[in-house]
């Protein structure tokens, strides 16, 4: 659709500047802005903080400035295949790609989902994430579960980590989130299993549960965790092994009676390819702000579709990433659901002029031009991270 509609507009608009800034409580991500000589601007979200994104945008200016923003695929390819002096920084490219699609929709007066495929769905399921306190003590975890279950947005799937067991079942500071190849003993795995059994009992069977890891475990621990979760029947265990592909992922997947999913820190289709070709995972979990934006994640999803592998999106971003994810999810046949923090940070809803529609745990795909978001400048300024520039860099 983009190629057909863009024929009459090709070359009319040119990119004049690329900028970035970081908001507070943004999970280390930043907003990206592409300005043009037509007065239109496109917005995306990069998986890196403000200073890092701005530095990498300077390197990408030679690719972007003066170019037609409608040439999205060409620009994505140029940005991601650069090898010298530096390889392309995919988290920054991700933000640029989202902004290019936003611009394309604004130039052509169409929502991004219509420019892609016309859409398989007009809303996407969401899941929410948290760390339940006191997983061994009903007086503590039941209130948390009730809060998750009764949220007015009506979420049906909850992802729970077990960091709260440290000092409350496990030894305090027992492990460090995201430090690779750590080990839990058999007795510790039993404690973790009991914690999730309690959460499942409180949650009931009308909601789904996801087990949240952060790429921190070795193979014996991942195998032990998967065995301990069999009675809990989670949708999947997320990121139980270190980020990069190894044969251990395949060993785990073959042995586990619980689904194994990974991908939130993988970049581009090349890093997903080994997992898919080797049958090492049950599902992929890309993040639009890390894996290549809309273009990159659609390439990943297309490969996964050939192997009948579902796509779930990791998402801890602001309104921009949520809406980019909605358009992505609407246009990918094998899309299942997305994580969101819409419920957690009040400014996410407030930073856009249009209402955010979440009902029964489903996010409505915007039908306005581009991503369908009109940013509210006052909200952005109020939530700008201290020392960050307001777009000026």
Any domain includes 383: no
With 70 as the cut, is the pLDDT of residue 161 above it?
A: yes
How much is the pLDDT for 2? 78
Nearest CA among 335, 237, 322 for reference residue 281: 237
Kindly report, residue by residue over 10-27, the tens digit of the pLDDT: 778 999 999 999 999 999
Could you give the CA distance from residue 28 to residue 20 in angstroms, rounded to a whole number?
13
Final residue before a domain boundary, out of 114, 137, 157: 114
Any domain includes 174: yes
Task: State the residue range of the domain holding 340.
Answer: 120-371
Tell me: do 99 and 125 sit in the same domain.
Answer: no
Tell me: do 90 and 221 sit in the same domain.
Answer: no
- Please state, rounded to an integer, the average pLDDT across all residues of the chain: 96
Tell me: do 300 and 165 sit in the same domain.
Answer: yes
CATH number, position 321: 3.20.20.120
Any domain includes 244: yes
Tell me: do 144 and 281 sit in the same domain.
Answer: yes
Kindly report, residue by residue over 68-113, the tens digit of the pLDDT: 999 999 999 999 998 888 899 999 999 999 999 999 999 999 999 9
Kindly report, residue by residue over 106-158, the tens digit of the pLDDT: 999 999 999 998 789 999 999 999 999 999 999 999 999 999 999 999 999 99
Verify cis geometry, omega within 30 degrees of 0, for the bond prior to 85. yes
Tell me: do 23 and 62 sit in the same domain.
Answer: yes
Kindly report, residue by residue over 311-320, the tens digit of the pLDDT: 999 999 999 9
CATH number, position 95: 3.30.390.10
Any domain includes 378: no
Could you give the CA distance from residue 387 to residue 189 in angstroms, rounded to a whole number?
43
Tell me: do 57 and 182 sit in the same domain.
Answer: no
Any domain includes 49: yes
**Paired residues of 89 in beta bridges:** none
How much is the pLDDT for 393? 56
What pTM, to 2 d.p., does this model score?
0.96
Contact 284, 314 (CB under 8 A): no
Tell me: do 276 and 360 sit in the same domain.
Answer: yes
Provide the domain count of the chain. Answer: 2
Tell me: do 189 and 243 sit in the same domain.
Answer: yes
Tell me: do 110 and 124 sit in the same domain.
Answer: no
Tell me: do 18 and 108 sit in the same domain.
Answer: yes
Could you give the CA distance from residue 217 to residue 182 in angstroms, rounded to a whole number?
5
Tell me: do 86 and 189 sit in the same domain.
Answer: no
Residue 160: both structure tokens together:
């729970």
């Amino acid at each position: 659709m983009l190629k057909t509609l863009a024929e009459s507009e090709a070359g009319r608009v040119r990119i004049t500047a690329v900028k970035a800034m970081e908001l507070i409580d943004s999970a280390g991500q930043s907003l990206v802005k592409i300005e043009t000589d037509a007065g239109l601007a496109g917005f995306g979200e990069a998986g890196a903080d403000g200073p890092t994104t701005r530095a990498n945008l300077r390197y990408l200016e030679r690719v972007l400035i003066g170019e037609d923003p409608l040439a999205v695929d060409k620009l994505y390819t140029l940005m991601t295949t650069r090898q010298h002096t530096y390889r392309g920084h995919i988290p920054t490219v991700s933000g640029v790609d989202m902004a290019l699609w936003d611009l394309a929709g604004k130039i052509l007066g169409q929502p991004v989902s219509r420019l892609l495929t016309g859409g398989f769905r007009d809303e996407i399921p969401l899941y929410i994430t948290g760390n339940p306190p006191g997983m061994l003590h009903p007086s503590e975890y039941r209130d948390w579960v009730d809060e998750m279950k009764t949220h007015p947005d009506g979420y049906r799937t909850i992802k729970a980590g077990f960091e709260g067991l440290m000092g409350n079942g496990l030894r305090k500071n027992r492990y460090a989130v995201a430090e690779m190849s750590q080990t839990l003993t058999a007795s510790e795995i039993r404690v973790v299993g009991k914690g999730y059994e309690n959460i499942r009992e409180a949650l009931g069977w009308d909601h789904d549960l996801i087990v949240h890891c952060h790429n921190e475990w070795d193979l014996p621990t991942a195998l032990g965790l998967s065995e301990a979760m069999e009675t809990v029947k989670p949708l999947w265990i997320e990121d139980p092994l270190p980020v990069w592909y190894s044969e251990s992922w395949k060993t785990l997947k073959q042995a586990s009676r619980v689904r194994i999913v990974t991908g939130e820190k993988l970049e581009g289709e090349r890093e997903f390819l080994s997992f898919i070709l080797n049958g090492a995972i049950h599902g992929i979990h890309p993040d639009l702000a890390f894996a290549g934006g809309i273009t990159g994640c659609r390439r990943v999803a297309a490969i996964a579709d050939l192997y009948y592998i579902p796509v779930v999106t990791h998402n801890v971003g602001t309104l921009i990433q949520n809406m980019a994810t909605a358009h992505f999810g609407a246009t990918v046949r094998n899309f299942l659901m997305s994580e969101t923090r819409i419920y957690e940070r009040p400014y996410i809803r407030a930073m856009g002029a249009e209402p955010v529609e979440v009902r029964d745990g489903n996010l409505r795909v915007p039908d306005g031009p581009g991503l369908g978001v009109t940013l509210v400048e006052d909200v952005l300024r109020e939530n700008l991270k201290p020392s960050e520039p307001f777009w000026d860099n």
